[in-house]
Structure 1
């Protein structure tokens, strides 16, 4: 059977999502906890989006495949459903910087990575000394100059749509840098923090942090709004674009279709990635 887990984590003390020998990673920590909770030798999980070192998640989604008897055999005697029992056991094993929000049996055709139709990230910036709070220093970037969000949004609109984001990505050999960016908008939250809402079908390595770095240069007046479109048109990594720190970035939510479209989307996405990436 396939299980879906929704989880949150503080990425500060992790070396990113993906398992790496001798390093503390979110995937490695979760898989160890799952093996203990399910009383099996090992478990492998697949996530919706592999976050980099220091990046946080509020809405990460993963799936794992296990034998049904492994789930029922580890449920305990409290009367919880097997899924409720799994989430409870995991949260009792996991460290405080990872939390399973829910566990449920995945519908037919579900794939945490390939069934996803969009991912939503937020990047948070404190651009006023009065907004800099040491208590959230691991989640909000402190910026030394005030930002003009109108100019940043003007620049952002030129980046929307199906584009080649090679100018904003760290290339991998043979991998595509073409993505569909559906939302890129800056607003201020109730405290005054500048927040970028970034939504795309998928993201390539360092894409969001590079986009934010480009737009911060527009917002603090170092570059005109047109610079974002000019950089995009170059289709090669621009050394003038700063890749901002990871700690301001959070994976907020992942979107999936319903019903039969889950399997259809997974097949389309898998075929596309195999043809263009691997």
Structure 2
């Protein structure tokens, strides 16, 4: 048995997220097809560190691949996999890890949400959300997003069903949120150990509505206690990218 840590980058625009699904095109599904194409009838298993949502991108997804034989040339194996994959998915590196390596125990994950508030660019539109309400005041948006930093019950900022909430905790800690302007794009950077489905997109969507004066900070604070109903604000998936995973 051999355990390998794969680092992936992908354009998630045309995929229904990371997790393999029978009737939908997914990143894990396409990766598994490529692996099977290369190693033929040998047994293997893949586990992703982060379950990115439909149409979300990644520049540093980590995947644990366990196989039932030894691969002697990892460079050639990586080349073969990349040849078998779509150009929207790329394996950046492969390294050997111990058999007890836990892909789900990351120390920190970093996500980045990109807003274009300057002009429409057909070549970057797949990777950003177009903002049509004037140039964003970075300091103002930063002050709004501060309310989400720290430990809160994000039940009302998640896509979890009531059944899922019975087994998945919605109390999470966001270590930091930074708002920067880089190359005429607004970047909202989230750091934390783990995030829930739709959490970041719902935070961004709500913060932007607060920026426009359509929801108050006091209302957001109440929702962060986990009581009441969800606000119907979810930012477009195109703007979200998994940027970094640290073990």
TM-score, L = length of structure 2? 0.91
Q: CA RMSD in A?
A: 1.7
Per-residue CA deviations over 1:81-137 (Å, capped at 9, x if unaligned) read x21121111111111000000001013531222x21221100001123xx3211111
Asked whether the equivalents of residues 154 and 225 of structure 1 are also in contact (C-alpha less than 8 Å), the reply is no
Q: 2: distance between equivalents of 1:65 and 1:15?
A: 24
Structure with more helix by fraction:
1
- CA distance in structure 1 between the aligned counterparts of 2:54 and 2:114, rounded to whole angstroms: 17
Note if 1:140 corresponds to 2:140: no
User: Could you say which residue in structure 2 is the equivalent of 1:270?
Assistant: none
- 2:213 is aligned with 1:218: no
What is aligned with 2:178? 185
Structure 1 position 225, deviation (Å): 4.5
How far apart, in 2, do the equivalents of 1:237 and 1:60 lie? 32
Distance 1:53 1:202 in 2: 18
Once the two structures are TM-superposed, the CA of residue 15 in structure 1 deviates from its matched residue by 1.3
Aligned residue among 223, 232, 241 for 1:231: 223
Aligned to 1:18: 19
- Unmatched 5+ residue regions in structure 1? 73-81, 257-278
Give 1:239-254 correspondences, 5 Å limit: 239=231, 241-254=232-245
Task: Tell me, yes or no, if structure 1 residue 154 matches structure 2 residue 143.
Answer: yes
Kept in 2, the 8 Å contact 1:18–1:50? The answer is yes
For residue 234 of structure 1, report the CA deviation from its aligned partner.
Answer: 4.8
**Partner of 2:111 in structure 1?**
121
What's the offset of the Cα at 1:202? 0.6
Match of 2:98 in 1: 107
Gaps of 5+ in 2: none
Helix, strand or coil for the counterpart of 1:119? strand
CA distance in 2, matches of 1:45, 1:6: 12
- Structure 2 CA distance for aligned equivalents of residues 188 and 225 of structure 1: 23
Cα distance change on mapping 1:157 and 1:68 into 2, 3 Å: same
Q: With the length of structure 1 as denominator, give the TM-score of the two structures.
A: 0.81
3-state SS of paired residue (1:233): coil
